[in-house]
Chain A
Amino acid sequence: MIKFESVYLKRNDKQIFSDLNLVIKKNEKVLIQGRSGIGKTTLFKILLGFETIEKGSVTFNGKDIDKEHVKEIRHQIFYLSQDIDLKNERVTFLLDELQEHNVLKNQDQAIFSRLMDLLDLKTVVLNQSVKDLSGGERQRIGLLIGFLMDRPVWLLDEPTSALDETLKRKITDYIVAQDKTIVIISHDDVWKKNSTIRIERW
């Protein structure tokens, strides 16, 4: 599904990747661990076409991440960035906008309520602006959007960093049980308890 072959990347004269090789199979769950600054987030950015590599090859479903395929590839990825960089609008506005553009595959009201429950989100949150949300609320809204989009590949950058222990367990269980290809960057030990997760240590 995702293949990095002897990838080299330099940014601001700093070598981020030299000869990186990584293969992620369909529906595999991979946890990437390593000290900060080592390029974990950059890995996601390459897949989304936000960062271009210097040497080597990166393929997504056998396709290069280039002008021709980038749109199609982005359509298959749900990316949860570390700071959940949503536009500063009311949450309902964001959801409506995504719905208008057919980004949300799960349109069922029952699914929506179930996900709100799972994420322990109250409906008042929906009327708030993104900048007024707490870190934890923003993280859960980000996840909600991803769950509703229902795309086949999930790239999650520290998805549980701002959640409390109970919620962490609930949500990680939900994520790991999905029939999706999921790559997680996390310092949280909660992921390791799950035996289906392959751990990549950098």
Chain B
Amino acid sequence: MMMSGKKTAPLELRGGDKLGAQDITVLSLASLLVFLIPVFYINRRLKLSINAVMVSSIIRMCIQLSFVGLYLEFLFKYNSPVLNMVYLLIMISIACQSILKASNLKVLTFFIPVFFSLLLPFAIILFFFNAVVVRIDNLFEAKYLIPIGGMLLGNCLRSIIIGLNSFYSGIQKEEKVYLYSLSLFCSRIQALKPYFKQSITASVTPTIASMATIGLVSLPGMMTGQILGGSIPLVAIKYQMAIMLSIFYTEYFSTILAVLFSLKVGFNELDVLNQNIFVSRR
């Protein structure tokens, strides 16, 4: 098991107590950097040239998370539905952009279809989660909306990247085969079907695999966080199951929609793949 440490043990026993995890001082957090000394030493002895990347990644992580901490504090303090929604919409836009960048597709061309393919399943599953599963009174409660939304989005990001990438690069690679199918079937849907099937399978396979092994190797982050935060393991486990299912559904539907919604910009009106949709790789 990944999580351990004597500090958490008494909290677990207290069950529903709202005490939360013990605060860490900045100094004690910084004490973790001690282990960088052997890492630097070994890197030097092995002549590994990863020091620069490693240090810049660690610095980036610290800065980015500090910012997240600051604005989450802000969001939680005001807990305004409008503000929370705006925050989520911004997150979706950022997600969109990184999806398209990673898929080598032109951001301007694909932004709107991908935005809506994320927004629809995301909004439905998120509100279902809050209203039907957790049954909170205020559906826009920042404490639920923001972290759950973030988890759903983060996972969708990966699956849509895999889905779009597999779909468009698959057709680009096999363009002759696609066009030949089109000439036989005279139906775009039928000619696209193999690529569509392939892209959905590729995009949800990692999540299906992780559902099968969860709990065997590592405790998922959300559960760890909840237990540290004072929830009893049984509650944490129920949340974990709910979030795994929600992640799977959101990924599944948003990948399908991303492919479907993007067809209009991906293909010309005679059903031929537009060649100018890819960002040229140099």
Name A residues whose Cβ lies closer than 8 Å to a Cβ of B: 48-50, 52, 65-67, 70-71, 74-75, 77, 79, 81, 83-87, 98, 101, 103, 145, 149
B179 at the interface (CB under 8 A from A): yes
Q: Which residues of B contact A85 (CB under 8 A)?
A: 176-177, 179-180
Interface residues on B, range: 10 to 19
Q: How far is the CB of B108 from chain A (nearest CB, A)?
A: 23
Taking CB atoms, residues of chain B closer than 8 Å to A67 are 269-270
State the CA gap A110–B196 with chains docked (Å). Answer: 36
**B270 surroundings in chain A (CB, below 8 A):** 49-50, 52, 65-67, 70
Most buried by B among A65, A75, A85, A98: A85
Closest Cβ–Cβ distance, residue A185 to chain B (whole Å): 15
Provide the residues of chain B in CB contact with A81, threshold 8 Å: 176, 180, 183
Can you give 7 A-B contacts (C-beta < 8 A)? A49-B271, A52-B270, A75-B186, A84-B180, A85-B179, A98-B185, A101-B190
Docked Cα-Cα span, A149 to B185, in Å, equals 10
Indicate if the CB atoms of A79 and B187 lie closer than 8 Å.
no
| Contact, CB under 8 Å: B180 / A86 | yes
In the complex formed, the residue of B with least CB distance to A146 is B184
| A15-B186 Cα distance, complex, nearest whole Å | 29
Q: Which of A49, A66, A86, A87 interacts with B272 by CB under 8 Å? A: A49
Instruction: Pick the contact of B185: A52, A65, A84, A101 (CB < 8 A).
Output: A101
Task: Tell whether A83 pairs with B194 under 8 Å between CB atoms, given A67-B269, A145-B184.
Answer: no
Known contacts A81-B183, A86-B177; 12 additional CB pairs below 8 A are A48-B179, A48-B182, A49-B272, A50-B179, A52-B270, A65-B270, A66-B269, A67-B269, A84-B180, A87-B181, A103-B184, A103-B185
Residues from chain B with Cβ under 8 Å of A103 in the complex: 184-186
CB distance from B170 to the nearest CB of A (A): 12
In the assembled complex, the Cα of A83 lies from the Cα of B271 at a distance in Å of 21
Measured between beta carbons, the chain A residues less than 8 angstroms from B181 are 87
